[in-house]
Amino acid sequence: MPLNKLRNIGIAAHIDAGKTTVTERILFFTGTTRRIGEVHDGQATMDFMKQEQERGITIASAAISCTWSGYQINLIDTPGHVDFTVEVERSLRVIDGMIAVFCGVGGVEPQSETVWNQADRYRVPRIAFINKMDRPGADFQQVIAQMNKYLDANAFAFQLPIGAEEEFQGMVDILEEKALIFNGEMMQEAAVPEAMKDEVKEARLHLVEKLAEFDDAVMELFFEEKQVPAQRLKQVAREATLKMLITPVFCGAAYRNKGIHQLLDAVIDYLPSPIDVGAVVGLDIDDPEKSHTCHPSPTEPFSALAFKLIHDPFVGQQTFTRIFSGTLKSGMQVLNATRGKHERIGRILRIHAKEREEVSEAGPGDIIALIGMKLTKTGDTLCSDEHRMLLESIHIPPTVIEMKIAPAKRQEQTKLGEALHKLANEDPSFHVRYDEETEETVICGMGELHLEIILDRLKHEFKVEAEVGAPAVAFRETITTEVESDHKHAKQTGGKGQFARTVIRIEPNDGNGFEFVDKIKGGAIPMEYIPSVEKGIRKTMDKGILAGFPVVDVKVVLVDGAFHPVDSSDMAFQTCASMCFRHGFMKAQPILLEPLMKVEINTPDEYIGDVVGNLNRRRGKVESMRRYRKGSQKINALVPLMEMFGYATHLRNITSGRASYSMEFLKYTPVPKGVQEEVVKERNLAGIRK
């Protein structure tokens, strides 16, 4: 398949906007599947995990290939639930274009904004599909207005719906000025309905006026008030879409099979091929000042990004990879630039959801699964030895919730450990840590549903029954002032002793993570022991000091020290640095940080007072309120996660089940002093720390 006839696209949106339903229709109409799978009966092709079928939601992004009008479309369906935002993140990193699906009734929802911002981060061009136009309350123009107001989308209608709600019959193509009427399974072209002629004319004029900004020929015809050919407008609209200057908007009702053919045509007309995306640039791993540029050509040096790991019971670990340049062949040796080690390629598979097709080689633009990779993890760059480079990796958000876990039977401890290791390998937003002091295993994730799915997979995939504690907030620790700490570690136990002295300056490092700076002069500490100092500090930070939570956003400057030619060792300096950091940390006015959540609540007008009052009692801060639809409002608030446990039940009670909410992580923020004292006291009573 020529590269200009390839489209790597993702489908992303808020939960329940109909992404998987749109995908199933695309697969059916492109002949990839012979029957339409439905989410509600657990038969969706893309939702092939047992947990997805039971809940009717998408959890893992799935890749599938299909063809339309002589073009190959590699399609990635992504989750809408905020707990699985890393799935969207890694999919957006490797796709070239995106279909953003919006519900014709719900419009721009909280997760729509998150996905849109993620797509902005990776500069992904997109088109929009307003789905569910047959539902009561659907309003096409209102959704476009919301897209422009809340997403700054520069959205322009390329279609107008004919009728709405139960009267939705089809759509008018604004560029071609023709109507497409659906009658059951049949679709026919027709003249624009008389009642819509003025509306279509105005919409086309509005679109032409916008496109004239990007093309002199269109500008000339516009000023001369001449008809601009549809084909010319398409070319200009494509260029504007690829540069992310506009977002073409289409409409339909995927469940009723309306608008999918036109959406597929739009993917080909307006979304980029690998050639349109152009070259990828990677940093030289030997010299970060230099960069390498690789064009999407089979003859260029090989470069690819591993974006997802899946443990498959039949073939073992599958490493999903997007190739940007060069050719990959089975048996070939490639460099994992992230880890600095070589990997040999085993089998190469093209994935059709749960079906697989083995191929001997793959080229630029291909999204494939590799079998037999031993070292490669999510976000790793694979490249040739001639062009040793690192591509932009994948942004992984921090975990916000944790729970203790233990096997139901003691003899299954090893089995549980292996299963958790495999799951953590697959999902970079899931972490496992072992607390040596309490001899407990703690799992951390993005939300309650995220950990619920992990536990479900442990039980059904790995056949491990586990007992878990209640979900708890994943706090962090940091400091607020700068201090200097001096510690000498000397131990004599007969024979060779231990000796080390470190002097460090600890400074707050807001939002920049951990930073270690070596300012040793005159060999006060030999060069070989400097990494030992950093290692000792890192180990202490992971375990926490104030209340046993990981330490973040701290800068440590090593300013002085001393050593003994016989008694100094790697372990002596690790121990000394650890104690030095502990003492300094406790003097630097340490505080706890808690996850602050962005909460959006849809509630009928009559319950607004109760909902806002309840948010205030939960230490929440209402940011804005806006009209959602007639008789109801959207409330945007910031609320600490620890106050949101059990909120779903409470909201149901105070609104008679008529309100709904969603939330996502925003940032870590300082905990009020009174709350901090409670948390530290509770952790001490529980014996978390000595």
pLDDT digits (tens, 9 = 90+) for 235-256: 999 999 999 999 999 999 998 8
**What is the spatial distance between Cα 208 and Cα 217, in angstroms, rounded to a whole number?**
11
Amino acid code (one letter) for 420: L
Sequence-separated (6 or more) residues with CB below 8 Å from residue 308: 61, 90, 319, 320, 378, 426
State how far the Cα of 151 lies from the Cα of 144, in Å rounded to an integer: 10
Query: Which tens digits make up the pLDDT trace of 90-119?
Result: 778 888 999 999 999 888 887 788 788 888
The answer to whether 350 touches 305, Cβ cutoff 8 Å, is no
The pLDDT value recorded for residue 588 is 96
pLDDT of 41 over the 50 cut: no
Beta bridge partners of 505: 484, 557
Residue 547: phi and psi, rounded to 5, are -145, 20
| Among 113, 86, 126, residue whose Cα is nearest residue 634 | 113
In this prediction, residue 78 carries a pLDDT of 65
Across the range 194-209, mean pLDDT stands at 94
17-21, 486-490, 617-621: range with lowest mean pLDDT: 17-21
Taking Cα atoms as reference points, which of 406, 408, 562 lies closest to residue 488?
562
Given this model, what pLDDT does residue 42 score? 41
Distance from C-alpha of 449 to C-alpha of 561, rounded to nearest angstrom = 48
Q: Which has more confidence, 457 or 481?
A: 481
Q: How confident is the model at residue 59 (pLDDT cuts 50, 70, 90)?
A: very low
- At residue 315, the pLDDT reads 72
d(CA 97, CA 168): 28
Task: Count Cα atoms within 13 angstroms, Cβ side, for 673.
Answer: 1
466 forms beta bridges with 407
* Predicted local confidence at residue 619, as pLDDT: 95
DSSP state of 607: G
The pLDDT tens digits for 627-673 are 766 788 889 999 999 999 889 889 989 999 888 888 888 899 999 99
Mean pLDDT, to the nearest integer, of 439-457? Answer: 85
pLDDT at residue 51 in the model: 38
**Structural tokens at position 183:** 């009658």
Strand partners, 178: 173
The answer, yes or no, to whether residue 522 has pLDDT greater than 90, is no
Strand 554-562 to 515-518 pairing:
parallel
The CA distance from 473 to 451, in Å, is 13
Is a pLDDT exceeding 60 seen at residue 233?
yes
Please give the single-letter amino acid code of residue 46: M
Q: Give the up-direction half-sphere exposure of residue 580: CA atoms within 13 A in the CB hemisphere.
A: 32
What is the 8-class DSSP label of residue 524? S
Could you tell me which residue, 315 or 499, shows the higher pLDDT? Answer: 499
* Averaged pLDDT, 422-438: 81
| Number of Cβ atoms within 10 Å of the Cβ of 66 | 20
In degrees, rounded to 5, the angle at the alpha carbon of residue 274 between the alpha carbons of residues 61 and 390 is 75
Q: Which two tokens stand for residue 312?
A: 């498959």
263 CB-near residues (< 8 Å, 6+ apart): 22, 26, 99, 129, 250, 252
Q: State mean pLDDT over 220-236.
A: 92
For the chain, percent of residues with pLDDT exceeding 90: 52
Q: State the residue for tokens 């489209």.
A: 7
Distances (CA, A) of 18 to 35, 168, 598, 662: 18, 17, 23, 17
The distance in angstroms from the start CA to the end CA of the chain is: 64
What Rg, from alpha-carbon coordinates, does the chain have? 28
Which residues lie closer than 8 Å to 653 by C-beta, 6 or more apart? none
Cβ–Cβ contacts within 10 Å for residue 46, how many? 28
Cβ pair 9, 105 in contact under 8 A = no
- The answer on pLDDT for 52 being more than 80 is no
Whether this prediction's pTM lies above 0.85 is answered by no
